[in-house]
């Protein structure tokens, strides 16, 4: 593809994102980059990812819990119980986890000693439960699945709350919550950097530019802009570079579960088939963190899956950067983790199956091969 075709393809991609509601960004770039930055020296030392089918160690599929109107933090009465929802985070649940947990907990009106039930043990349920325990409340998690068997374990998981809502389906109230949750969460993740939680700062490139900085530009420090000539990647008229946080789900979710137990949390394996079953719980406040499960349990038919597929290659310690190429029909992203080089990606709305699609795996591998081959020496 020529650079001008790429630019056209990206423009179409951004348009379709708005129409389809798979938000990679929340609008057009909201800042003017400083052209002076174009003159800074070419970064060197970007090692290429060794992309080949014989380095493939696994293929994973997850269903993102997506609502065009964004995550749900409503409070609902169910007989004597108060249900506080915290679900529907789409492609940004890891990123938003501490933030929406904090906003949801603020809605509890009980005294701090009353026990609280949390439904779900993905990143949202665990973060919510930990914040409640830190307030001194007795907490029981009820869940049918635990890490590593949750959607949260499938996430890439780069800190950027993308694909969370459709711009024309949300109001200013939601956007205030979204921006606040992003800020709270990013700040809390900063305190978790290190090997215990598997959280790291990572330099990340947006090939083609136009990244929209969901949550606010200040959350993506050390911004740089490259033109075609100065970019470390060949073939892109614009490249943007930022720093953000990388979260390693296998390490992180295990650490959250450990923290939950250490803080005195209790956990019961149980599946709820109908919301009427919740009236049997002893707790009068129930935090609903069931992710996509809320479609059935709370009959929220606006909550749909967005299927995502990843190809994971053998780890490569020398890869210290990530990149995203947000094309509509050729979405590609790469993030290095201890458990492998994560290659994405796909984004298929309203697909409920978790089958691996070999055509997509081949497209992903070919696309990343092309990007690796285009790295400038």
Ligand X SMILES: Cc1cc2nc3c(=O)[nH]c(=O)nc-3n(C[C@H](O)[C@H](O)[C@H](O)COP(=O)(O)OP(=O)(O)OC[C@H]3O[C@@H](n4cnc5c(N)ncnc54)[C@H](O)[C@@H]3O)c2cc1C
**Shortest approach of ligand X to residue 7 CB, angstroms?**
25
Q: Where are the beta strands (DSSP E) in 220-260?
A: 224-227, 238-247
DSSP at 167: G
Instruction: Mark the segment that binds ligand X (CB under 6 A) among 3-11, 13-21, 62-70, 222-230.
Output: 62-70
Does residue 308 contact residue 61 with C-beta atoms inside 8 Å? yes
Mark residues 298-337: x for contact with ligand X by CB under 6 A, - for none: ----------x-x---------------------------
User: Which residue number, 25 or 290, has a Cβ lying nearer to ligand X?
Assistant: 290
Minimum distance from residue 120 beta carbon to ligand X (Å): 3
Nearer to ligand X, 126 or 237 (CB): 126
Cα–Cα distances in Å, from 38 out to 41, 203, 230, 240? 8, 17, 7, 10
**Nearest-approach distance from CB 212 to ligand X, in angstroms:** 15
**Which residue from 23, 83, 94, 341 is in contact with ligand X, where contact means CB under 6 A?**
94
Segment (H or E) for 13: helix 3-20
Question: Taking CB under 6 A as the rule, does residue 215 contact ligand X?
Answer: no
Task: For residue 363, count other CB atoms closer than 10 A to its CB.
Answer: 17
- Antiparallel, parallel or unpaired: β 285-288 and 81-85: parallel
> Which residues contact residue 64 at a Cβ distance below 8 angstroms, ignoring those fewer than 6 apart?
89, 90, 91, 93, 151, 163, 292, 305, 306, 307, 308
Applying CB under 6 A, the span of 43-51, 140-148, 313-321, 360-368 interacting with ligand X comes to 140-148
* CB closer to ligand X out of 38 and 348: 348
Instruction: Kindly indicate which of the ranges 12-20, 113-121, 129-137, 278-286 contains the residues binding ligand X, using the contact rule CB under 6 A.
Output: 113-121
- Give the integer Cα–Cα distance in Å for 38 and 69: 38
- By the rule CB under 6 A, 198 interacts with ligand X: no
Query: Per rule CB under 6 A, is residue 265 in the interface with ligand X?
Result: no
Helix-helix angle 93-105:123-134, to 10 degrees: 40
Nearest distance in Å: CB 33, ligand X? 24
Asked if 367 and 374 touch (Cβ cutoff 8 Å), the reply is no
* Residue 181 or 371 having the CB closest to ligand X: 181
Q: Decide whether 46 or 297 has the Cβ nearer to ligand X.
A: 297
- If you write DSSP's letter for every residue of 62-98 in order, what string do you get? EEEEE-TT--B--EEEETTEEEEE-B--GGGHHHHHH
Footprint of ligand X on residues 273-302 (CB under 6 A)? 289-293, 297
89 near ligand X, judged by CB under 6 A: yes
Binding region for ligand X (CB under 6 A) = 62, 64-65, 87, 89-95, 119-125, 143-145, 150-152, 154-158, 271-272, 289-293, 297, 308, 310
């Amino acid at each position: 593809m020529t650079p001008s075709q790429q630019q056209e393809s990206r423009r179409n991609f951004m348009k379709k994102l708005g129409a389809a509601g798979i938000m990679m960004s929340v609008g057009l770039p909201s800042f003017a980059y400083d052209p002076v930055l174009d003159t800074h020296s070419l970064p060197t030392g970007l090692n290429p990812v060794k992309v080949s089918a014989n380095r493939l160690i696994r293929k994973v599929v997850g269903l993102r819990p997506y609502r065009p109107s964004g995550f749900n933090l409503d409070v609902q009465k169910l007989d004597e119980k108060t249900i506080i929802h915290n679900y529907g985070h789409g492609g940004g649940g890891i990123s938003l986890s501490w933030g929406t947990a904090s906003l949801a907990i603020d809605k509890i009106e009980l005294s701090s000693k009353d026990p609280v039930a949390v439904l779900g043990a993905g990143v949202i349920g665990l973060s919510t439960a930990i914040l409640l325990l830190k307030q001194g409340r007795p907490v029981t998690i009820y869940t049918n699945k635990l890490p590593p068997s949750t959607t949260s374990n499938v996430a890439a998981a780069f800190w950027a709350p993308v694909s969370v809502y459709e711009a024309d389906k949300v109001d200013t109230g939601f956007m205030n919550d979204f921006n606040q949750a992003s800020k709270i969460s990013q700040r809390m993740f900063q305190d978790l950097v290190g090997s215990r939680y598997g959280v790291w700062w990572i330099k990340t490139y947006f090939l083609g530019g136009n990244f929209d900085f969901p949550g606010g530009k200040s959350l993506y420090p050390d911004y740089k802009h490259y033109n075609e000539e100065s970019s470390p990647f060949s073939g892109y008229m614009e490249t943007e570079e930022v720093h953000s946080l990388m979260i390693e789900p296998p390490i992180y979710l295990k650490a959250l579960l450990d923290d939950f137990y250490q803080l005195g949390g209790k956990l019961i394996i149980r599946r709820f088939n109908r919301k009427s079953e919740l009236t049997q719980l002893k707790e009068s406040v129930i935090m609903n963190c069931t992710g996509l499960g809320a479609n059935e349990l709370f009959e929220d038919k606006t909550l749909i899956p967005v299927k995502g597929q990843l190809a994971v290659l053998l780890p490569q310690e020398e890869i210290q950067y990530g990149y995203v190429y947000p094309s509509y029909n050729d979405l590609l992203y790469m993030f290095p983790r201890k458990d492998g080089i994560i290659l994405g990606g796909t984004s298929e709305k309203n697909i409920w199956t978790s089958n691996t699609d070999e055509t997509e795996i081949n497209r992903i591998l070919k696309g990343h091969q092309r990007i690796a081959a285009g790295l400038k020496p």
